[in-house]
């Protein structure tokens, strides 16, 4: 019996899990439809109201401010479809506004380092070599399953899953697949695990992850990471499997397919046909098709 035949017999997701996934997808879609600067205004308003309520309730200034900062930072990280600069504006606008208000009186100087500390916890220095937190937009992978059909129970990995938006997009396309996510930041991995109950999310290094046995690997990385990802896929994945990249192509390697929709980022689809000769990312490998 083949691995796919065995996987196909796996139990279907429970109705509760399916309902949770649909509700999360609906909330993500509604948030993504808000035009800028509405996300920033709503985030700042929520943080201001939370801080004000805590101060009126008698909370100390640093506790009220810290709670507001945590709330605003969480919204900046989780809001779908925002660029990195807009996330920084959303997360940084609230503490800047607090500096000019009376609500910040009595806050110790060290408290203003809290946003930096939260950033380092959510996005540790080791992860800076990979892509920043760029969530997969809703419907970004629409039509992928028609172009790359997979059997029920296929193993699909979101390498660097962040908060789980890519896993949600993959789940929409492949509801019967066995979805996995890897994320180095432990707060993001915990959030993705909570949001994506239909997937197995683990904290780990996507470059140390073993890709053998996977049917499809999805990435939303930096352009300079794509050669390394292609070499890893060719070295570890079986022929006939797939590497899918949102927005960024593998330099010098012709894709098997490209999904293009008006106003959306392209989706580059690569089929693993054979193994690289050795070390492409370091410049010593010549992968067939690369010049």
User: What are the CA-CA distances from residue 279 to residues 53, 131, 276, 283 (Å)?
Assistant: 57, 22, 8, 7
Percent of the chain with pLDDT over 70: 68
For residue 7, is pLDDT > 50? no
Question: How are strands ordered across the β-sheet holding 267-271?
Answer: 200-203, 178-183, 155-159, 216-219, 242-246, 267-271, 257-259
pLDDT tens-digit readout, 216-253: 999 998 888 899 999 999 999 999 999 999 999 999 99
Confidence of residue 281 (pLDDT cuts 50, 70, 90): very low
For residue 4, is pLDDT > 70? no
Task: Tell me which residue of 276, 25, 281, 78 sits closest to 188, measured CA to CA.
Answer: 78
Task: Tell me which residue of 187, 195, 188 sits closest to 179, measured CA to CA.
Answer: 195
Question: Is residue 182 a contact partner of residue 204, using CB atoms and an 8 Å limit?
Answer: yes
The CATH number assigned to the domain with range 133-282 reads 3.40.50.150
Confidence of residue 172 (pLDDT cuts 50, 70, 90): very high
Task: Return d(Cα 200, Cα 186) in angstroms, integer.
Answer: 14
Query: What is the DSSP pairing of strand 178-183 with strand 155-159?
Result: parallel
Task: Tell me which residue of 232, 286, 54, 283 sits closest to 270, measured CA to CA.
Answer: 232
- Count of other CB atoms within 10 angstroms of residue 119: 15
Task: Return d(Cα 5, Cα 267) in angstroms, integer.
Answer: 29
Average pLDDT value over all residues in the chain: 78
Of the listed ranges 45-54, 112-121, 163-172, 186-195, the least confidently predicted one is 112-121
The confidence score (pLDDT) of residue 21 equals 52
CA angle 85, 89, 91 (to 5 degrees): 115
Question: Is residue 2 a contact partner of residue 153, using CB atoms and an 8 Å limit?
Answer: no
């Amino acid at each position: 019996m083949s691995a796919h035949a065995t996987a196909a017999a796996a139990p279907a997701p429970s109705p509760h899990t399916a309902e949770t996934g649909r509700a999360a997808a609906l909330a993500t879609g509604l948030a993504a439809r808000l035009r800028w600067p509405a996300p920033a205004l709503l985030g700042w308003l929520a943080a201001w109201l939370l801080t004000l309520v805590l101060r009126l309730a008698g909370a100390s200034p640093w506790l009220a401010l810290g709670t507001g900062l945590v709330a605003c930072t969480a919204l900046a990280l989780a809001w779908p479809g925002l660029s990195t600069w807009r996330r920084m504006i959303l997360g940084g606008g609230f503490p800047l506004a607090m500096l000019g208000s009376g609500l910040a009186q009595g806050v110790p100087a060290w408290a203003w380092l809290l946003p930096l500390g939260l950033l380092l916890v959510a996005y540790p220095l080791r992860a800076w070599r990979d892509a920043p937190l760029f969530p997969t937009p809703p419907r970004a992978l629409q039509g992928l399953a028609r172009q790359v059909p997979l059997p029920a129970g296929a193993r699909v990995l979101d390498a660097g899953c962040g908060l789980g938006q890519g896993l949600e997009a993959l789940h929409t396309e492949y509801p019967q697949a066995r979805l996995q996510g890897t994320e180095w930041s432990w707060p993001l991995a915990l959030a993705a695990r909570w949001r994506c109950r239909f997937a197995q999310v683990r904290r780990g290094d996507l470059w140390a992850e073993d890709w053998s046995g996977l049917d499809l690997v999805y990435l939303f990385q930096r352009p300079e990471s794509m050669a390394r990802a292609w070499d890893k896929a060719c070295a570890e994945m079986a022929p006939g499997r797939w590497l899918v990249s949102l927005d960024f192509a593998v330099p010098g390697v012709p894709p098997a397919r490209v999904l293009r929709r008006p106003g959306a980022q392209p989706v580059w689809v690569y089929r693993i046909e054979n193994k690289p000769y050795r070390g492409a990312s370091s410049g010593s490998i010549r992968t067939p098709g690369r010049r």
